[in-house]
Structure 1
Amino acid sequence: MDVRARAQELYRFALDNAAWNPQTLTENRGWSGTELADALRLLGELGLLVPSSDHRNGWTALAPDTALRKLLLDEEQHTDALLSAVRQTRSALAQVLADFQPVHARELASVQMEVVSGMANVSAILEDASRRAEEEVLSLHPGRPLPAGMVEAGLERDRLVLGRGVRMRTIHLRSAASVPHMTAYLRRLNGAGAQVRTAHTLPMRLIVVDRSLAIVPASHTADGEIAAIVLRGETLAGVFREIFQHSWESAAVLTESATESPEGDWRPTGRHRELVRMLGGGLTDEAMARKLGVSERTVRRLVSELTERLGTASRFQAGVCAVRLGWLDD
């Protein structure tokens, strides 16, 4: 006999005798305690037997229609409880959206990204950032040093920023700091009140202004023009500020030895000096080669050495920088 058949027999027995005795039933039917428990559980799940204190056996048998109505009522109450919980959850979600969505939206709106291309446009962004600075300006400068003309323009901009009481911390490559026009620039910048450090390596070119603006390089455009990414928002600017701080802690404070080139205070002599004079006169490689009695290939190598030492990008800039350094005064 399976559990359903035993449940039917138990139900008939309970309807006939409300004071039925479980022990008598199991003895008469030959059921084990487990078999009786399984039949009771099934009848209880169907609502045909319900717990009761009116009888010693602890159960009361209900008519099937009564049991069905009770099951439906229990389900309705359970459903009502679920619906009430859903309504409470919906209300809580609505409150969360009302209270915190504007905060999230403002945070997203505060993060803005702009790609700027072209030397003039990048310079304009840097100029605008320097004028807006109120608290601090942080910068990393890896790679080759900027041309002397750009460095001079940058120094004037930096002096104006420092003059407004803005703190300035900057890190340059040690190798770049030994280039003559960069040496002079960093010493003057340090003298104007900026904190200057040097490092053997730096992760990226970077400018952070007032914890809310970061400027980083972008890939060159299809036309080969330089480009920069301007990021506005405390979240992203904070990330780049941490990058700067990590580099700052491992960088060395600017000293006279830090900006001194390995060869000391180098000045052009011999062929280099004559080459500087000829560059100032605008001579071609062929003309300079004839005057020096060397090949044009040697002239190009000597010019390359000069521009490398001066940190300039062209021969014209090398000539301008040489004049500024007084190399042609005597």
Structure 2
Amino acid sequence: MDARARAQELYRLALDNASWCPETLTESRGWSGTELAEALRLLGRLGLFVPSSDNRNGWTALAPDTALRNLLLDEEQHTNALLTAVRQTRSALAQVVADFQPVHARELSSVQMDVVTGVANVSAALEDASQRAEEEVLSLHPGRALPAEMVEAGLERDRLVLGRGIRMRTIHLGSAAAVPHMTAYLRRLNGAGAQVRTAHTLPLRLIVVDRSLAIVPASQTADGEIAAIVLRSETLVGVFRGIFEHCWASAAVLTESATESPEGDWHPTGRHRELVRMLGGGLTDEAMARKLGVSERTVRRLVSELTERLGAASRFQAGVCAVRLGWLDD
């Protein structure tokens, strides 16, 4: 006999004799205490048995329609309580919106973002930013070397900034810094008081002025004109400052020169080291050229130098050798 059958039998017995005795029932039916408890729980859950102090067994059996009305009444009360809680929550949320939305709106309104397009407008934005500087100017310069005339114009602007006592830290691609007119520019900038470092890869072009202004590149317009985004927000500028500091920590000071180990103990340094990492990542010649700021032809030459050093017949073999030698471990 399953629990439902025992519950039906107990219900029938309770209707016939409201004073039924649990002990007598278990003895006469051969039920265990657990089986009786299961039947009682089922009848109680259905509302057919309700606790009662009038009977020695502690229960009163109700008619099915009465039990159903009681269950529906309980559900109605529970639903009403939930609706009351929902209304209270809605009221509390409305109060939160009323109290704090203006604060949030003021915070959003403090973020200013302007998009400037065209060489002249971007140059004007850079000039304006340099005039606003009060403490420090930070900059990252990926890509190939700029034309000499643009470099000279930038040097004059940088000198004026440094002359006002503004700190300046800048990082350029090592490949661009090796171009003669860029080498001369960076050494003159360093001599004027700026701190100059070089890196073999940089994530983006970036200028940060103090702690509240940043200029980052935007996608070119449909006409192919350059564009830049000028951001004014301490929170967002703080993110860009973090990117700069990460690059600064791993960049090399301008006066350092890379030296190679003896031929028999050669290991990749400088651009070769970055090239090994990118080869290990499966980058194409075009992608590697873009990151290093050189031409695809130069990338192919550097790869050829690596494979020759390793005595490999292919890039794949070069990668296998690089792993074996531990060049991709750090």
Same fold flag (TM > 0.5): yes
Q: Deviations over 1:114-146 (max 9, x none)?
A: 443221111111111112223321111233333
- Output the CA distance in 2 between the equivalents of 1:65 and 1:204: 75
Displacement of 1:82 in angstroms is 1.6
Displacement of 1:7 in angstroms is 4.4
Paired residue for 1:291?
none
Displacement of 1:150 in angstroms is 2.3
Query: What letter corresponds to residue 194 of structure 1 in structure 2?
Result: A
Q: CA RMSD in A?
A: 3.4
Paired residue for 1:171?
171
Q: Deviations over 1:45-103 (max 9, x none)?
A: 23232123443322123455654554344223322322233233323433443455445
Paired residue for 2:280?
none
Of residues 172-181 and 120-129 in structure 1, the stretch that sits farther from structure 2 once superposed is 172-181
Paired residue for 1:48?
48
Paired residue for 2:120?
120
Query: Which ranges in structure 2 are unaligned for 5 or more consecutive residues?
Result: 259-330
Query: What letter corresponds to residue 204 of structure 2 in structure 1?
Result: M
Displacement of 1:235 in angstroms is 4.0
Paired residue for 1:14?
14
Could you tell me the percent identity over the aligned residues?
A: 87
Paired residue for 1:134?
134
TM-score by length of 2: 0.64
Paired residue for 1:152?
152
Query: What letter corresponds to residue 207 of structure 1 in structure 2?
Result: I
Paired residue for 2:207?
207
Of residues 18-27 and 97-106 in structure 1, the stretch that sits farther from structure 2 once superposed is 97-106
1:50/1:169 CA distance change after superposition, 3 Å: same
Structure 1 residue matching 2:23: 3-state secondary structure = helix
1:63/1:220 CA distance change after superposition, 3 Å: closer
Greater RCO, CA 8 A, separation 6+: 1
- Output the CA distance in 1 between the equivalents of 2:65 and 2:16: 17
Of residues 229-238 and 43-52 in structure 1, the stretch that sits farther from structure 2 once superposed is 229-238
1:28/1:123 CA distance change after superposition, 3 Å: same
Q: Deviations over 1:138-163 (max 9, x none)?
A: 11123333333322322232233234
- Output the CA distance in 2 between the equivalents of 1:232 and 1:66: 70
Paired residue for 1:239?
239
Query: What letter corresponds to residue 22 of structure 1 in structure 2?
Result: P
Query: Which ranges in structure 1 are unaligned for 5 or more consecutive residues?
Result: 259-330
- May I ask how many residue pairs the two structures share in their alignment? 258
- Output the CA distance in 2 between the equivalents of 1:254 and 1:7: 90
Query: What letter corresponds to residue 21 of structure 1 in structure 2?
Result: C
- Output the CA distance in 2 between the equivalents of 1:200 and 1:130: 26
- Output the CA distance in 2 between the equivalents of 1:198 and 1:15: 94
1:147/1:5 CA distance change after superposition, 3 Å: closer
Paired residue for 1:59?
59
Displacement of 1:251 in angstroms is 1.9
Structure 1 segment 1-330 matched on structure 2, within 5 A: 7=7, 9-28=9-28, 36-62=36-62, 67-255=67-255
Of residues 108-117 and 193-202 in structure 1, the stretch that sits farther from structure 2 once superposed is 108-117
